[in-house]
A and B are shown apart, each in its own frame.
Chain A
Amino acid sequence: MRQSDSASDWEIKTAIRPIAALGRFTLGAGRRAFSMLGRMSLLFGEALCCTAKGLIVPAQRIRRDALMAQMVRVGVRAVPIVILAQMAIGMILTLQMFPKLDEFGQPEQLATINAIAGFRELGPFLTALVLCGFAGASIAAELGTMVTAEEIEALQASALNPVRFLVVPRLLATVIMTTMLTVIADVVMIASGMLTAVKLGIDSDIYFQLTLEAVDIMSFATGLIKAAVFGLLIGLIACFLGLSVKPWQGSQGVGRATTNAVVYGIVAIIVADAVFTLIFYSYGLFD
């Protein structure tokens, strides 16, 4: 009797073990994610403080040469890739939509579709993805290496705040450059869509006219707001992960921070994009 009791006990325990493990894992991952979000918010808060001080207090001003250097480093190399991606997307979308629209007898509506998709979604989204790979990875790797080389400690020992010194210019650069590249991306996509459409026999004047009608200031502005927030996420995640490398983790820690900066960055961009779309549409911004 007693034996069979303990046998069934054992069976239950074995059956539960994977579930318990899964539960523990989920709780652990959840706790880590929350703690990371918390620490990242703190970093963001401090960066905001430093930026505000930099605008007001002359002795703490943001150094223009540092900002310029970061903007060049974040943005310039990504320009050809962004242009290439947007040209391809504009052409692809046009070619794929054309047969159906032609069937409905309104092929010139390609202009509307391209404009809305480009300005509201594809421009900011694709630009952010490209910059996440370019800038996010390189910022995380750079800051992580600085940690392992004792450079961050040396900054602190020289009474220089790493947030003001390193994080603020990088954040501003990712925000500004994502926004600026999005403008380029928007233009390239419209142009590429138009060229393809003209080849398909649509009158360029009509296409242009319809584009202007479709692109209201709202689409353009919300696209840029999205781009700025995506840029902020890219920079913040990369800075946070880079500075979170511990000196004794060495090159392995730097490698992990770099990969994570790209992966977390992409996830954050997608989530933020969904949230934005929900907000914009539930407030009826595009009615």
Chain B
Amino acid sequence: MEAGKSPIIEVRRLTKSFGTQRVLEAISLDVYPGEVMVVIGGSGCGKSTLLRHLIGSLPPDQGSIKMFGAEITTMSEAEINKIRKRFGVVFQSGALFNSLSVGENVALPLREHTQLDASTIETMVKIKLELVGLRQHLDKMPAMLSGGMKKRAGLARAIALDPQILFYDEPTSGLDPVTAAEIDQLIVDLTRKLNVTSMVVTHQMDSAFTIAHRMCMLDSGRILKIGPRQEFESLRGSNPDQLHGEQDRLVRQFLRGDAQGPITERRTAGGYEDDLLKISLRHDV
């Protein structure tokens, strides 16, 4: 963002395949301290996979990931755990510990990673749950929560240790508009007041434009476009005839959510008849 600051997350030529499927292809991106980086892209384009690499739960095939200036891809589990205590993750499904109550879920990182006494932890749990509007549900078990409540409880757990970086995988999908706006506001507040750095994967374009400082669009494992929010905003409002690059037209369609455009054309152009024939051939063998 501002010149002179060194990135807090630095990804270089990150490549990953599952079997023969190339899911990430030479991804390079920087996230600077105190900014909100929003990652957008179609379903299955590799957004969650990118996040999994950043939190150290998937090893890359190639490339490097630096966090707080340290290379995490070659770290031992003990070393990477030191880094993990400095960031929080909100999973796509919430990923609450189902055997623990909501309050215990939030208390767990505090109990395990700090020396705080029980009553202090209880207070902190209440504060975090109040932030996401779940204080009354402290004693409920995760299975008794709705999908949106699970996600908010997951957020409360992610901010339990006051992390410096927060990763969100679709924090507002499946939430009602008001709660979604509240979560957006929370992300903005955390960034502004506590200088938290956030990386947010989302499908909600209005939410993306509300919170982003910079945005990045992925498409089948590659970065189509990365830049400040204003660039994406002007691209969304632009006239398609004035755009020259194929890439810009792809991004524009995605941002506007148009049913017609280069993305849909590409999907239908992919040799549909050949594909059908191939299937019937395979049955013969």
Contact = CB atoms under 8 A, between A and B. Distances in A.
Interface of A: 145-146, 149-151, 153-161
A159 B84 contact: yes
Interface in B151-169: 154, 157
With a 10 A CB-CB cut-off, give which of A151, A153, A155, A159 has the most chain B CB atoms.
A159
Contacts of B26: none
24 contacts: A146-B98, A149-B93, A150-B93, A150-B95, A151-B95, A153-B52, A154-B89, A154-B91, A154-B95, A154-B97, A154-B154, A155-B97, A157-B55, A157-B56, A157-B57, A158-B84, A158-B89, A158-B108, A158-B112, A159-B85, A160-B108, A160-B112, A161-B77, A161-B81
B89 A157 contact: yes
A153 B84 contact: no
B109 interface: yes
B220 to A, nearest CB: 19
B193 interface: no
A154 B98 CA distance: 12
B113 interface: yes
A145 B56 CA distance: 21
Contacts of B77: 161
A102 to B, nearest CB: 55
Interface string B104-118: 000011001100000
Contacts of B84: 156-159
A125 to B, nearest CB: 31
Interface in B63-97: 77, 81-82, 84-85, 89, 91-93, 95-97
A150 B92 CA distance: 9
Contacts of B154: 154
A160 B161 CA distance: 13
A31 B208 CA distance: 50
Contacts of A157: 55-57, 84, 89
Nearest to A158: B109
Contacts of A156: 56-57, 84
Given A149-B98, A153-B95, A159 B89 contact: no
A45 to B, nearest CB: 14
A153 B54 CA distance: 13
A197 B97 CA distance: 53
Nearest to B82: A159
B97 A159 contact: no
A153 B93 contact: no
